Amino acid sequence: MNTDSRSLKPILIHAVAILAVIAVGAGIGTTIGPDDWYWTLNKPSFNPPSWLFAPVWTILYVFIAIAFARTFLRDPKGPAMQVWIVQMLLNWSWTPLWFGLHMMWVAFAVIVALWLSIVAFIWLTRRADPVSSILFVPYLAWVSFAAILNGTVAAMNS
């Protein structure tokens, strides 16, 4: 019986992490999303269509959540877990800053800090848990693109 509960724990942690990360991200995205202000902004030609963001973020949030679960199970108080928490808080704060408060340059500073925290997580997990490290690579690519887009839109509308 004890072995069964130990084998269920990782599955439960992964499931709860995936549900929680997606739920919070989707909740923020649906309550503080693009408004009239956003639609009137000048945007560069490489601005993706709006419909692309939800599926991309859903996939990324699954990867982020799996990395959380793996990191939590390995070392719940370690430096990688602390960096994971920081990156998630930065991630979730960007949308209210950009769409809610219309603070484009503050949001840009947050996305740069987010980018650095993603790099730090990849670095910290590269040897102990290469799977978690690799799961953050698409996230890093998307946030790199988003940072360029954020900075470009801010500059075009300043």
pLDDT digit string, tens, across residues 70-129: 999 999 999 999 999 999 999 999 999 999 999 999 999 999 999 999 999 999 999 999
Q: Span 138-154, mean pLDDT?
A: 98
Alpha carbon separation from 8 to 14, 18, 21 (Å, rounded): 10, 15, 20
- Please tell me the distance from the alpha carbon of residue 80 to that of residue 123, in angstroms, as a whole number: 9
Number of domains observed in the structure of the chain: 1
Quick one: pLDDT band at residue 6, thresholds 50, 70, 90? confident
pLDDT at 7 (0 to 100): 83
- On average, the pLDDT of the chain sits at 95
CATH label of the domain that carries residue 29: 1.20.1260
pLDDT at 5 (0 to 100): 64
What global pTM score does this model have? 0.94
Quick check: 1 pLDDT over 50?
A: no
Do residues 111 and 146 lie in contact, with contact meaning Cβ atoms separated by under 8 Å?
Answer: yes
pLDDT at 3 (0 to 100): 55
- Please tell me the distance from the alpha carbon of residue 144 to that of residue 156, in angstroms, as a whole number: 18
- Please tell me the distance from the alpha carbon of residue 8 to that of residue 94, in angstroms, as a whole number: 34
Q: Which domain holds residue 36?
A: 2-156
Quick check: 140 pLDDT over 50?
A: yes
Give me 79's structure tokens.
Answer: 């430096």
pLDDT digit string, tens, across residues 51-77: 999 999 999 999 999 999 999 999 999
What are the backbone angles phi and psi of residue 34, rounded to the nearest 5°?
Answer: -55, 135
- Please tell me the distance from the alpha carbon of residue 131 to that of residue 46, in angstroms, as a whole number: 31
Do residues 89 and 133 lie in contact, with contact meaning Cβ atoms separated by under 8 Å?
Answer: no
Do residues 117 and 90 lie in contact, with contact meaning Cβ atoms separated by under 8 Å?
Answer: yes
